Structure 1
């Protein structure tokens, strides 16, 4: 029989754009549409992911880029591929697009980051959420600074521009990208748009019955 692999969906975007809220809304939307959904995030919840998250304000540049990507490779192997192969849809909060932005804010070149992620599993749909830099700056100010990048008042505008470049870089690598402006749009509506844009689930493998050994063998 033929087994259909689940869909891999990633959500990225500037801090304060509503990623976590949208991820949860998308999980509900897809579940209501009858899909089995697995939700995850990066950095992951593994020991490596926790170390990366806890030390991201102290480790900079190429070293942090390598840590983030190392966690990604392990995350895909242990937490993303198994449910995909079982036919589940996986939604990941932050993925390659975030690396192509945050690590560039940290002084790492786009070419280095693309090479570092060259063998990473690419999503069936990469969603990039955006909003005006003024709205993003307002949301960050309201919730408080959580990362060293937020101390730069120009960071929201730079993030918006770099995410647009990240979208182009992914499209150039044949990744389906959906860019959505979340300004004044309910998360439930954003989730519906994402669900409507999903491609058909790819065929993972053709599974043949175990052959019966010939008599007398």
Structure 2
């Protein structure tokens, strides 16, 4: 059986994750790669509930909702498309959890325990940008949730994503970090596509090594 590759895109709000994902998907399809794009929270009823209540539900309760949606997302959408040989690209995944939920006061150990049996990506892409550029982009775009309304968050996020990078590598996940301060979505997509050429076309699942 041929399995697809699982690629995740994470990073602070305002770094261009969604635009880059769409650009990358179009680029890969032009090369003949079957691609399925998705996002977290997922489009399921649980994912929609999590997204719509993320400003009201906080801390460990929100972390548990995010993890529950992730397990259902893997079972109902991600794994079937991988089994069909598609490259699955997800806008936000574990690296975002390790940052956003820690901004909400949840310890990393708790988050890793919650996600101990998830499917790990074949490539984790972390998009970054200068905190000042992020603040400017968020002001122009408008905040999507409570974290983006706090002007102190971009600098804290940058530090937490550096830590998440190291945690993902410790879990055995290849990580590509791309600074989007000056790069266009097209430039970023080309960098990711180039990195994907070195990723085997198979997906290994199993518990996180603690």
- TM-score, normalization by structure 1: 0.91
| Structure 1, unaligned runs of 5 or more | 205-217
2:200 alignment counterpart: 200
**1:145-188 CA distance string (max 9 Å, x none):** 22111222110011111111101000001001100001111111
The count of residues paired between Structure 1 and Structure 2 equals 202
CA distance in 2, matches of 1:117, 1:169: 13
CA distance in 2, matches of 1:90, 1:203: 11
2:124 alignment counterpart: 126
1:90 aligned onto 2:91: no
- CA-atom RMSD in angstroms: 1.0
CA distance in 1, matches of 2:6, 2:27: 15
Partner of residue 61 from structure 2, selected from 60, 63, 67: 63
SS at match of 2:159: helix
**1:85-129 CA distance string (max 9 Å, x none):** 110110000000000000000000011001111100000000000
Consecutive aligned runs of 4 or more in structure 1 exceeding 4 Å deviation: none
SS at match of 1:197: helix
CA distance in 2, matches of 1:101, 1:185: 23
Contact residue 4 and residue 203 of structure 1 kept, 8 A: no
2:176 alignment counterpart: 178
1:27 aligned onto 2:52: no
| Structure 2, unaligned runs of 5 or more | 205-210
CA distance in 1, matches of 2:108, 2:4: 30
